Structure 1
């Protein structure tokens, strides 16, 4: 990396930070506070070096052009946080197994949406549980994310072995194939699970009208914390319209829907139901 580029980028001004803040808010709803200056610089400095740009202002000018959609998506991929792991927030999976699925037992086909799927761990965790609990009934998982980079990783379904430490041992042996040779130290999600999960890029700020199917359960975890309050309300209301009456919404444990005008009933902390 060009050290002069890195040091120059680290000296981002308030004016430049405001420009990026407004750009990311406009395109993906991300609220990037001034306290995240260091994150902005660390995520984008290498890309500036690759492009031979001298500062963040030049990069902003580039990605703000309407025709530079590909590079703007590259910036979005770099700036969005995608930390996740298998069976994260275990209580949600316990609720899915013990409370939600029994209520859905009479449904012919169960449809679940992992609406901020990142690198796929959440979607595949749900798939393992559904295959275990609903093996003789049809089900499908729609998984989406704003980042093309993480979706490519998710579709590959190949993970370092350390990423599987929270997978229950019976699931690890049943659904995860241990890599050998060049893939030693990795595991691959079994094909019969992979084929039940469809990954697609989706922007939660602009869900397409053609996405008219209704879901029984939507996982929208650890993403609305990056939005300001009005954007949170808009996103949640839009997602609720994709949930069938009587369906469920699961948000992250650290996320609150308090004070939002939503057509939801709380079932448990971070678990809500749309009235029938």
Structure 2
């Protein structure tokens, strides 16, 4: 018996058939490029059940019919948001931030050092980038950060910059004291990132599958971590190809710990530990042509 035929349809609130699951897989792939594994049917049910309740449907087929028929942009956004995984933390995969700090220090000039965080989620990653910049350059660093995500809900969270106190428990006390404000009143038990960090970051929604990204910069660093695992290899290659056009000739691409781009050696070469340079780059990381 295959994974799809094992969907339990008898004990659930909503009717959810193998055909419904295949339809969801097709829709999320066409709309967001995400390749859902055949074993994700329970996750799909639990995530989308909320959308069925919100739209007063009893069957997944009814909801999916409405989604396709109406072309409702808000509901499509809710559909994608529901199926997007947003696991993140401050300074996740810490070695990347050490390398980024070294890359910043080796900057040959002081034009703005530009970073694109292409999977910003709830903001912990772009704020970690901003903290790194302040630790290298001081509280007014020559750094600009674009923080994007497909999920508008997590972007709104990140833009606010407010987190439960447990989110910063693993950070050095000095970092917490320097870069976060303790909440009071109804914000007690929370921390807020300091304004000098927020000023470095521009949050915007970007779908990596869109034909045109609203970006014109030449970035020194692109962080695209733990995102490519949701795309198939042809989709990955297309995105990586577009990254090369936005990455400074000596810029670096930072990927997730479970990702590798051996299928794209014509575009990127590995520098070890999920850090990549453009394939044609010949200078040492962090340096620029005079």
How far residue 190 of structure 1 moved from its aligned partner, in angstroms, is: 0.4
Normalising by structure 1, report the TM-score: 0.93
Normalising by structure 2, report the TM-score: 0.88
Q: Which runs of 5+ in 1 are unaligned?
A: none
Whether 2:127 is the aligned partner of 1:117: answer: no
Correspondences of 1:33-182 after superposition (within 5 Å): 33-65=37-69, 67-98=71-102, 100-135=103-138, 137-182=141-186
SS in 2 for 1:272: strand
Give the alignment's Cα RMSD to 1 decimal: 1.9
**How far apart in 1 are the matches of 2:225 and 2:192?**
24
Deviations 1:220-266 (A, max 9, x none): 00111111111111112112221111111000011111122442222
SS in 2 for 1:7: coil
**How far apart in 1 are the matches of 2:54 and 2:207?**
27
Whether 2:261 is the aligned partner of 1:252: answer: no
Structure 1 residues 198 and 156: CA distance shift in structure 2, 3 A: same
SS in 2 for 1:112: strand
Structure 1 residues 137 and 160: CA distance shift in structure 2, 3 A: closer
**How far apart in 2 are the matches of 1:183 and 1:6?**
40
Moved over 6 A (4+): none
Q: Which moved more, 1:233-242 or 1:174-183?
A: 233-242
Q: Which runs of 5+ in 2 are unaligned?
A: 1-8, 283-290
Residue of structure 1 in register with 2:218 after alignment? 214
Deviations 1:19-76 (A, max 9, x none): 1111100111100122100000010112211211011111111222363111010011
**How far apart in 1 are the matches of 2:214 and 2:89?**
31
Q: Do 1:87 and 1:166's aligned partners in 2 also have CA atoms closer than 8 Å?
A: no
Q: How many residues are paired up?
A: 271
Structure 1 residues 207 and 143: CA distance shift in structure 2, 3 A: farther
